[in-house]
Structure 1
């Protein structure tokens, strides 16, 4: 330890000799009108980092805009610092601290060399972080937290991005690291995370990987291995953390080997993971989520979540249909006033969407556990509508116009039309401009659309609905007329459907997943998938072009395991939730320029043999991407679903892995 401390001191002293003396004082009260200050300590593990250059930055407020350095100083011999700066006028401005320490320029070259060690702490917004009160820590843990949470807003050493994605991402960083202590944050260190999943151990191992560079041993190897395919190598530890987050399946084992150079943080992984993802579980208030089915994000990035069942932690107790709608903040807390109820809500399933006026629409499928005495036949014939503040706008029996029957998928378009897939009715209900009195039932007839399940709207306002029982996808015109039925191309038991910004439609083929409607019960679904322990032969993804044609073969890899929900991110890449296998799949979309070099449309970006796995996942249905680039999944059922109450109890969020999407998602995804 003494040798390591002397090494840090010597390197920092050389840096201070070459940096000049025009920096802020280390100590003193913040002077002047509108001024504030921040004190803290720069550490590597428990070892102080002396003479590090500490800067306060205001992040850029648009993609690609330059951050602004507000002030800088140096840490003293014990790693302590105090920096005074003028508080930004914009209360939503995101503030962060950097501490740079590393190699000086080579003698005789006259060249400046960027310090390879950059430790970062995200303070938060100017409104939330007033400065002055309390101290903060910059260390490898806070740097991993910043690198992952801000991964989609980091370009080189600079942080910038639009509201609310950047602000929400800054808040999520505090779910990973406690900036006041440099330790693991409560959200990550306690149930339903903590020792219940591997996320904590992964986080600490990533911190150890950076610590090897902080100690001066592994920087060159770190920057070489963290380099994203086709991109420049990172030049400091913060960039390396962000690059690992954006390409988590790249050089995994070699990066893991670096964690043994300076093992500072425990508990840590004992072997390499399949990918460097950090997946957090969120539970809201802890007693509201039971069988969450899907997710819809509002303009501020809050997650609206329907539930199948009344919350009960004991799967042996009969759970009737849920009558609450959850709303979680971007950091996974239950939003003020939530969960919400009323409006005919009962046993909601996969269907939820927000319209252009901000109303949230939910399909009442009528889920309930075996043994519930209520008659679901009287309860699964409606949709519910809620105002942006959570007030129920639909009557106590829900909106029932348009012959709604066991509704599942639900979508809205730019004109405010609401589209409902009637899983039990072989039809789609179209609610024009969100006015239930004008609702119309659209039934193609016969066996042409059986068990309609997922529905999505494309760039032309056309609605595409999957026929789980007819192995096809039906396209409806913007006014609701059936125009085309697409089969072939591997479409088999299709479930979810999503559209991209290029006019393509993406379909997840469940293979063995039989939608639990029109005579099929949830118990039958459970029996059908119980014995499937490897990828089913028909599990795949199909791309439908805007003209209705498909590639000759579907896209297949072992990241697809009973695929259910599907989503497209802001780069038009594709994300798939699985009802089995505890994994998600990440596929290259139609915009191949956004994919790693050599990867073609439909190829896996996540590891082909595993996808991105997580022991925090159960059986997943819904999947969506938020404005910060986090991928949210619904733990809909337990891995072994006891039918009295089979529901899972968490949302699982993969931090910083996807290109952000502008929300609410109305029609095809839009990027910032």
Structure 2
């Protein structure tokens, strides 16, 4: 059976129209169901109907049996803030017992008249919720359950049992393996539907160390890189090519023609002004926020640009901010790495020297924030556990402090030796850690005594910075040494001095980076990650060497494992953190666990983990050459900005958002 726990946040979520995980069945009307496997009815299966809320045990609503045609009926009365899901166990297919067959459909508010349970709804329901299972129980906070359940429709239509509309749009279907991976996974699950395929079923369960198909899918979703070759070979051997048609006639179309690198499932989300996103952040309701470098549909790049606004996505991936412009109303003109969340507000630091402040409730513009002295162009935003907000003045070489998160009380602070501050993180001791996009120093200072700063020497050009639950700090570095040595084979673009002065604008810095990318088309590696101890010592400084290519964003998951947005590598790097017991066997601190790539993942700045354990990443740039093009081509002139954001399902340990201080595990 599946159980779940949740806590009541749903009325607010529902009021915002963000896809709260509850079933709205029009006052308890009958819901017609169909249970099938590979198009054949599953007869006499036990169907348990469960309802879950955060912080509470799941409630068994009904137990049903499927009929000879696989049909069933049930009635569900709406209950806001709840998650309802159906679990089908056993039964028979074509007269043969299927005792290892367990399938799942997680419902949402769109399931109003009929519901399907089949192999595809199982895959589509498991991946967004993969980290919420404890054994055979579905658990999590209210926000986690809301996120997991409301993401299902992106992958699968619970009513028809077919692919979801988001997956079928051209941004996803034509740019990733997600659909064909889902079909192969579905076909593997179907091996346990008939005793005639018992050998294949046994192999599937053995490879995943599972005792039924639902447990097998959960295992694959959590570690999609594990046993990939064996799983793909199992598919090939059980769905052979028909020589007459040259197709795997018994397999679902389309299917994988080549062995994948992993069985992760990724979806690209867009709309709401989401172009060239920099830093992603979540609020306490599971909403994603990000400032946009540039405005969608414009011909913006580093030469000329129209800055974007602030984007806002609900837990299910629906854009809540207005199209094209996003939220604004404060005269903001583009945001880089400067997005942060406090208890009440979304904050952005902009390219035109302003701090924008928005209500978390409705996106209403509340700023710009008041600062006691002039500031330059802004980058990272960090929120402390006590609610203080710190913002990096990148071109002015200052920090801006908002005590208690009061946006009317901003104070500009000078820090000894601080140059081009970029990323900001605050540890449990209320020390502020700041990276630099220009020099080779990490600056650390007590929040109540900024004059007592310490500089830690690292590699030249740091970007993302994050604090784990042990107090260790992880950073992304874009070169290999304090002097900024490039990777073998890299060259400095013409016209750029070997030791350039600090750029006067953020766009100048971006232009230099884009020119490096364009002038090194065969380069695949530059930069590494590092970890620094709570006593300010560099512990390890060659992490992800050979894989990292201009690493940028860094985030920590609930197991203290590390994720990096690998900018020019166009990938998401998963690294074993300070607690190797949570890592795969044989992996130790600093080892790369896997490097995720997909056609929907473009030139990526940031990665961040949601409350359900899904990984969200920001597509910052799309076409690097167009970014710096001074003579635009009409066909490609709107191509600089990265398109939307990407969710990679179920691969990370859940956290508690918003990020205020170090990473927090769920309550």
Structure 2 length normalisation: TM-score? 0.83
Contact 1:442 1:480 in 2 (8 A): no
What CA distance in whole angstroms lies between the structure 1 residues aligned with 2:301 and 2:321?
A: 31
Q: Offset of 1:627 from its aligned partner?
A: 1.2
1:462 and 1:318, CA in 2 relative to 1: closer, same or farther beyond 3 A?
A: closer
Equivalent in the alignment of 2:85: 96
Equivalent in the alignment of 2:432: 463
Contact 2:398 2:418 in 1 (8 A): yes
Contact 2:310 2:321 in 1 (8 A): no
Equivalent in the alignment of 1:666: 660
What CA distance in whole angstroms lies between the structure 2 residues aligned with 1:317 and 1:477?
A: 35
Out of 37, 54, 58, the residue aligned to residue 44 of structure 1 is 37
Give the secondary structure class of the aligned counterpart of 2:539. Answer: coil
1:313 and 1:215, CA in 2 relative to 1: closer, same or farther beyond 3 A?
A: farther
Out of 650, 653, 658, the residue aligned to residue 647 of structure 2 is 653
Equivalent in the alignment of 2:152: 173
Give the secondary structure class of the aligned counterpart of 1:193. Answer: helix
1:240 and 1:304, CA in 2 relative to 1: closer, same or farther beyond 3 A?
A: same
Give the secondary structure class of the aligned counterpart of 2:148. Answer: helix
Equivalent in the alignment of 2:247: none
Alignment of 1:17-96 (within 5 A): 37-59=30-52, 61-62=54-55, 67-83=58-74, 87=77, 91-96=80-85
Equivalent in the alignment of 2:23: none
- Structure 1, residues 70-111: CA drift from partner, whole Å, max 9, x if none? 2222212211122456x48x532211111112699xxxxxxx
Out of 295, 306, 317, the residue aligned to residue 321 of structure 1 is 306
Give the secondary structure class of the aligned counterpart of 2:552. Answer: strand
What CA distance in whole angstroms lies between the structure 1 residues aligned with 2:477 and 2:225?
A: 24
1:266 and 2:242 correspond: no
Equivalent in the alignment of 1:394: 367
Out of 421, 424, 446, the residue aligned to residue 477 of structure 1 is 446
Q: Offset of 1:547 from its aligned partner?
A: 0.6
1:80 and 1:486, CA in 2 relative to 1: closer, same or farther beyond 3 A?
A: same
Q: Offset of 1:456 from its aligned partner?
A: 0.7
1:282 and 2:269 correspond: yes
Gaps of 5+ in 1: 1-33, 105-112, 227-232, 366-379
Equivalent in the alignment of 2:170: 191
Alignment of 1:272-671 (within 5 A): 272-285=259-272, 288-312=273-297, 320-335=305-320, 339-356=326-343, 358-365=344-351, 380-388=352-360, 389-395=362-368, 399-435=370-406, 438-445=409-416, 448-488=417-457, 491-511=459-479, 517-518=503-504, 520-532=508-520, 538-606=526-594, 611-643=595-627, 646-671=640-665
Equivalent in the alignment of 2:212: 236
Give the secondary structure class of the aligned counterpart of 1:633. Answer: strand
Q: Offset of 1:641 from its aligned partner?
A: 4.0
Give the secondary structure class of the aligned counterpart of 2:84. Answer: strand
Q: Offset of 1:321 from its aligned partner?
A: 2.8
RMSD: 2.7
Contact 1:475 1:482 in 2 (8 A): no
Contact 1:413 1:461 in 2 (8 A): yes
Q: Offset of 1:323 from its aligned partner?
A: 4.6
1:35 and 1:333, CA in 2 relative to 1: closer, same or farther beyond 3 A?
A: closer
What CA distance in whole angstroms lies between the structure 1 residues aligned with 2:472 and 2:563?
A: 15
Q: Offset of 1:203 from its aligned partner?
A: 1.8
Higher mean displacement: 258-267 or 383-392: 258-267
Out of 221, 230, 234, the residue aligned to residue 203 of structure 2 is 221
- Structure 1, residues 337-356: CA drift from partner, whole Å, max 9, x if none? 67311123111111111112
Contact 1:308 1:349 in 2 (8 A): yes
Contact 1:66 1:158 in 2 (8 A): no
What CA distance in whole angstroms lies between the structure 2 residues aligned with 1:50 and 1:140?
A: 15
What CA distance in whole angstroms lies between the structure 1 residues aligned with 2:89 and 2:319?
A: 37
Higher mean displacement: 338-347 or 164-173: 338-347
Contact 1:453 1:515 in 2 (8 A): no
Alignment of 1:245-260 (within 5 A): 245-260=221-236
What CA distance in whole angstroms lies between the structure 2 residues aligned with 1:359 and 1:460?
A: 23
Q: Offset of 1:486 from its aligned partner?
A: 4.5
Higher mean displacement: 560-569 or 416-425: 416-425
What CA distance in whole angstroms lies between the structure 2 residues aligned with 1:587 and 1:207?
A: 29
Q: Offset of 1:495 from its aligned partner?
A: 0.7
Q: Offset of 1:558 from its aligned partner?
A: 4.2
Q: Offset of 1:235 from its aligned partner?
A: 1.5
Gaps of 5+ in 2: 1-26, 240-249, 480-485, 488-499, 630-637
Give the secondary structure class of the aligned counterpart of 1:196. Answer: coil
Question: How many residues are aligned here?
Answer: 590
Give the secondary structure class of the aligned counterpart of 1:181. Answer: coil
Give the secondary structure class of the aligned counterpart of 2:572. Answer: strand
